[in-house]
A and B are shown apart, each in its own frame.
Chain A
């Protein structure tokens, strides 16, 4: 063939692995695809937009008084908002599972997998966009929180650290949901299974209420529930100090546990998900 070879990736060995730059470009193109999908189907953003509003209102006004005493709403808002930060990550991450599952029902995945791109870039492109959706959800959550009187008693860098921690943990959770999305047959099954994982973790945690009133076995469970660890870390990062009956660990321990969980979840589920993705027919 006489035409000049302009593709640097192919110039040498056709079997050569892709360079980092090519991978980043592919992830960019695939992330753009996911963004365009959201643009075409704005309803798919409802979870990120509405959930933070509904949950802050619901919990503050329905449970706030009961838990912290009438008139102590302010105190509950300061307790709840960091907890909900942990929850947002989990709920948004869930959507990635159904998305991956739906993709496989269509021919477009065959096209991606028969193209000279790294197969994980399809998944990473999705994760990038989901992290963006999480940021939107957290921004709305904080806006709602500030309207209801949420205070950051520390400083901006610490607030950002709390947000960052929530995003890191949310990204780790996504691998679980991607694995579910690749393993189960229908988007409905993925949704159902995700709820099954989500509900006990969510309510068996310190997200909504302090754990000191729970029975001993449950309190023990919440202590090592990563959502509690993340909620506590976000509380201590934004509130500085908390009464010892409201948090279960010190700041350092909470952050450490959260990161350990995020690392462990990714280390176990990401390779499984990528392998499943590669071998899926």
Chain B
């Protein structure tokens, strides 16, 4: 297989594939991006998490040269998005929220066309198209028009289209918005495989906590055009506060007596033990490891037999609420809002 390298002077490694500093994009009064800083380390997946209208799509559009930012700087693979747009376009792959393939063309025709646009020879374009159709399990649908594809097949075709030029950096803008849970899992599997096998750096935007947890190692939370939190997924969750201790007694009859015993013990900072009948557990919010040991020794001293203990980090929904003071909403696709704004601005 001949490889078209769109990334000849790629840094030796270990650096940031994407570096954004103070990026600003305003549409009239609306500050879609209001000074965003973020880094994506080479070979990693960064999740950009935020509710509708947070500026996620605007960010991706700036980083893929579709929009020119008003201020700040952004480098992708060492290239300046404003000064070296052609070099950027040779480096990136883009999968938008809406499948960016020609619906009237078949899967093969779409991939072949993109191969030709990326300067593959006819033969190589054909071969690469076949290879990617196979790889994304679309061989059987290769001759069907993309408009006849199911939602999941379209996203897979879109991913395949983004991979033709072996991009060094891939943007996935809400890759599973509007998909059913099963199809979502399918797309997640593909993305994970791509990251593993192609060593591609990914910037993923999403409004689904679960998606960020699944795919991203690090997270940047943005809200109203500003970064409100960032870090490793687990760190971020821990930052928000405590864990929940989940204790499962051997005998269900012990549930309430156990909760009562913890409450009576009056351990420092431990309060609010409650019983979850459905799962047969006692749930105790805790802030430290000392509290964990304390709870366990209280239960041991009282002679309860414990079948299992787990600690659970808070969900990202809870994290988001704690950081931004606002609940995540996932009812309206973000891009629809931003598109409208852009039209008003134009």
Contact = CB atoms under 8 A, between A and B. Distances in A.
B8 A108 contact: no
Interface stretch (A35-43, A69-77, A187-195, A234-242): A35-43
Given A33-B102, A107-B100, A111-B100, A7 B4 contact: yes
Interface string B89-115: 111101011111111110001000110
A264 interface: no
Contacts of B109: 33, 36
A7 B6 contact: yes
A26 B120 CA distance: 11
Contacts of A4: 3, 5
B65 A114 contact: yes
Interface string A37-79: 1001100000000000000000000000000000000000000
B304 interface: no
Nearest to B115: A29
A14 interface: yes
A196 interface: no
A164 B345 CA distance: 41
A37 B102 contact: yes
Contact of A185 (B64, B161, B342, B343): B343
Interface in A68-123: 106-108, 110-117
B188 interface: no
A62 to B, nearest CB: 37
Q: Give the most central of A112, A114, A279: most B CB within 10 Å.
A: A114
Interface stretch (A15-23, A133-141, A142-150, A218-226): A15-23
B161 A32 contact: no
Contacts of B79: 14-15
Contact of A25 (B94, B102, B119): B119
B118 interface: yes
Q: Give the most central of B2, B6, B342: most A CB within 10 Å.
A: B6
Nearest to A109: B100
Given A7-B4, A29-B113, A110-B94, A280 B346 contact: yes
A118 to B, nearest CB: 9
A41 B84 contact: no
B90 A33 contact: no
A281 B66 CA distance: 7
Contacts of A33: 102, 105, 109, 113
B67 interface: yes
B104 A41 contact: yes
Given A3-B3, A107-B101, A281 B67 contact: yes
A199 interface: no
B96 A29 contact: no
Interface string A138-168: 0000000000000000000000000000000
A116 B90 contact: yes
Contacts of B8: 1, 5, 10-11, 14
A281 B100 contact: no
A30 interface: yes
A117 to B, nearest CB: 5
B346 to A, nearest CB: 7
A9 interface: yes
Which secondary structure characterizes the binding site on chain B? Answer: loop
Nearest to B171: A114
Given A1-B7, A26-B117, A107-B99, A114 B66 contact: yes
A108 B100 contact: yes
Counting contact residues on chain A (CB < 8 A from B), the size range is 35 or more
B87 A14 contact: yes
Contacts of A26: 116-117
A37 B102 CA distance: 9
A111 B4 contact: no
B105 A40 contact: yes
A281 B6 contact: no
A105 to B, nearest CB: 10
Nearest to B146: A108
B86 interface: yes
Given A4-B5, A185-B343, A9 B119 contact: yes
Interface in A258-281: 279-281
B342 A281 contact: yes
A22 B5 CA distance: 16
Contacts of B64: 110, 114
Contact of A281 (B3, B89, B91, B346): B346
Q: Give the most central of A36, A111, A113, A279: most B CB within 10 Å.
A: A111
B178 to A, nearest CB: 13
Interface in B49-66: 61, 64-66
B5 A116 contact: no
A36 B4 contact: no
A28 B345 CA distance: 34
A10 B5 contact: yes
Nearest to A113: B66
Contact of A16 (B86, B98, B100, B102): B86
Contacts of A115: 89, 114, 117-118
14 contacts: A4-B3, A6-B3, A7-B6, A10-B8, A11-B8, A16-B86, A25-B116, A26-B116, A28-B116, A106-B98, A106-B103, A110-B96, A110-B100, A114-B64
Given A114-B89, A115-B114, 7 more contacts: A15-B79, A15-B86, A17-B86, A29-B117, A111-B96, A115-B118, A281-B345
